[in-house]
Homo-oligomer: A and B are copies of this chain.
């Protein structure tokens, strides 16, 4: 318990930030028209590709002869990159439909 209290008190601002981020996540989406559900899902999915940053860090910190880590890292990078690039690109294609006429 004490540990938890300590963690809480020490990371107070981070916790504020997390809670506010959650509220913001809710708030931003809560009034979206149904037609945008799919593109929005797709856009959010692309953002979740931010996990690729972890993969970059993993490789950068790996020793150059740690081939296991490096290979895992590269796989992670490939997967993450597909998610990021594909995600944004596919969202963009979906949203092309929304171009205002004239």
Contacts and interface: CB of A to CB of B under 8 A. Distances in A.
A97 interface: no
A17 B13 contact: yes
A23 interface: yes
Contacts of A20: 17, 20-21, 24
A27 to B, nearest CB: 5
For this chain, the copies found in one complex come to 2
Interface in A2-45: 13-14, 16-17, 20-21, 23-24, 27-28, 31
Nearest to A20: B20
A31 B33 CA distance: 13
Contact of A23 (B13, B14, B16, B24): B24
A18 B87 CA distance: 29
